[in-house]
Amino acid sequence: MALIVQKFGGTSVADTIRIQTIAKIILKEYEAGHKLVIVVSAMAGVTNSLIAKCSEVSQLNSYEHMQEYDAVVGSGEILTTGLVALELQRVGLKARSLQGWQIPILTDNVFANAQVNSINSDFIHDLLSEGIIPVITGFQGVTSKKQLTTLGKGGSDTTAALVAAAIGADRADIYTDVTGVFSADPRVVHDAIKIDYITCEQMLTLSSYGAKVLHPRAALAAARYKFDMKILSSFDDNPGTLISSKNFDMESKMEKRLITAITSNKNIIQIDITCAPDSFSEVINKFTEEGLIVDKIEIYAHNKINLIASLADKNKFQATLDNLKSTSKILIYDIKSNISTVTAVGYGIKNYSGICFDIITLLSNQQIKVKGIDLTETRFTVVLEDQDTEKAIKLLHKHFRLNNKKDG
């Protein structure tokens, strides 16, 4: 008997018909003897609708505004938990809906993107000991001052993973509308294959560099707290992909495949900055003060900086750089948003003789301009123009024979 957290995303709970379907999935695991904790998202489209309604009545430009924004936007999950609990009761299971504040899931007060500080697992374990299945709102938290918070994009994945860590679950199953993790996006590479298993560390890298199947914060929790996860579809019986916290089957897999999967990210910007003399540290400190996150930084010629950052932060970077320029801390800057990264994950990449030159030659021969390449033991990332992204993915997928399961 295992203790399993099952998380169902928006498409899996899109309407009452879908809720009846997931109830059958839950019932099957329950009848197999497992203890279950359920985490659910809002119904598909509900959160976006609530965000739009907030924007209709407020500019959302103050602390007080964002506090109420979270109270509104987090309400979609309340509806879903109640409906799922009712359906589970209808099929003969004991179930109770729980909101984030009832557990509680304690967070900081960074509204719309709160970080979880702690989760008290006592109430969840009490319900489980009584044979009751807790159905928990994903995405929600509460501050020490009883303010409702939301965990940001992919927040229900994060809730499921952190609840799994808090209760000591054996596994967290993430149900979505895809059958697992693929060697590349099947919409781009038509012969991409579903990966049967992948390590937590590899999944964390894929998620961090653009893969949408699991939020990076959830992958990080699995890697940090050493529990397994599964990516499954609630629309079919495919066994999905196991995200393993263990290095299993090492003898048969050792050094056979260099690359496991490829992903991409077009939601980035590249910034070139020329600092004024002796102003470098002040520029970097200003980025820190403004809470700006940099994915990669290169420093050259003493006063020149090249950054890679999220496209979502473009306006904030521009405002900060304008301020620095007005105070003569920087001389000039240039923001490019027509770039992307293509990242491949695997093992022993940095030690693979000639891989850097192989990649550059492969792409250059197809008129793809490589703007930068970064290698570690577990990944390589190529920076290029976003118009070349899909072409590069197809070339690399074929070059590393990722469509051939026998190589893995």
Q: What average pLDDT values come out for the chain (408 residues) when binned by 10 residues?
A: 96 97 98 98 96 94 94 97 98 98 96 95 98 98 97 94 98 96 95 94 94 94 95 95 74 61 94 92 90 87 88 91 94 94 90 84 95 89 94 96 70
CA distance 47 to 122: 29
Give 307's strand partners.
Answer: 271, 297
Q: What is the pLDDT of residues 268-313, one digit of tens each?
A: 999 999 999 889 889 999 998 888 889 888 888 778 999 999 998 8
CB-facing half-sphere around the CA of 3: CA atoms within 13 A:
16
CA angle centred on 7, ends 248 and 190, rounded to 5°: 65
User: Is the domain of 295 the same as that of 379?
Assistant: no
User: Is the domain of 14 the same as that of 159?
Assistant: yes
Domain count, the chain: 3
CA distance 135 to 138: 9
User: Is the domain of 135 the same as that of 159?
Assistant: yes
Q: How many residues does the chain have?
A: 408
pLDDT at 372: 87
pLDDT at 256: 53
CA distance 215 to 83: 25
Q: Coil, helix or strand for 382?
A: strand
User: Is the domain of 91 the same as that of 222?
Assistant: yes
User: Is the domain of 104 the same as that of 165?
Assistant: yes
Of the candidates 218, 251, 284, which is a domain's last residue?
Answer: 251
Of the candidates 336, 362, 394, which is a domain's last residue?
Answer: 336
Residue 283, domain member (yes or no): yes
Residue 398's CATH number: 3.30.70.260
Residue 189: which of 363, 404, 384, 339 has the closest Cα?
Answer: 404
Residue 176, domain member (yes or no): yes
Residue 408, domain member (yes or no): no
Q: Do the strands 268-275 and 241-244 form a parallel or antiparallel pair, or are they unpaired?
A: unpaired
CA 68 vs CA 29, 49, 142, 279: distances in Å: 38, 15, 13, 40
pTM over 0.75: yes
* DSSP string over 98-114: E-GGGTTEEE-S-TTSP
pLDDT at 344: 95
User: Is the domain of 293 the same as that of 350?
Assistant: no
Q: What is the pLDDT of residues 94-130, one digit of tens each?
A: 999 999 999 999 999 999 999 999 999 999 999 999 9
Residue 280, domain member (yes or no): yes
User: Is the domain of 379 the same as that of 237?
Assistant: no
8-state DSSP, 139: S
Residue 136: which of 53, 36, 218, 219 has the closest Cα?
Answer: 36
User: Is the domain of 163 the same as that of 286?
Assistant: no
User: Is the domain of 209 the same as that of 308?
Assistant: no
Domain region containing 362: 259-265+341-403
Residue 52's CATH number: 3.40.1160.10
CA angle centred on 406, ends 226 and 247, rounded to 5°: 15
* DSSP string over 3-33: EEEEEE-GGGGSSHHHHHHHHHHHHHHHHTT
Of the candidates 319, 336, 353, which is a domain's last residue?
Answer: 336
